[in-house]
Amino acid sequence: MNLLVAIAVFVAAIFVLVALLKVAFSLIVVGLSLALAVAGYFLAEKLIGQGR
C-alpha cells in the first residue's frame, strides 16, 4: 500500500513540475516578445524621426 501511495505522489509531482515548466516557458516567451516590441517601437520612432 505504501508503494502505491509513493507512486501516486511521484506521478503528481511530475505533473506539477511539468505545469510549472510550462508556466515559466510561457512567461519567458511573453517577456521576450514584449522586449522585441519595445525595441521595434524605438527603432521605428528613430527612423520616423529621421525622415521628418
What is the pLDDT, as a whole number, of residue 51? 60
C-alpha to C-alpha distance for 42 and 48, rounded to whole angstroms: 10
When pLDDT is cut at 50, 70 and 90, the band that residue 52 belongs to is low
30-50 tens-digit pLDDT = 999 999 999 999 999 988 887
pLDDT digits (tens, 9 = 90+) for 5-21: 999 999 999 999 999 99
- Amino acid 40: pLDDT: 94
Among 33, 31, 12, 13, which Cα is nearest to 23's? 31
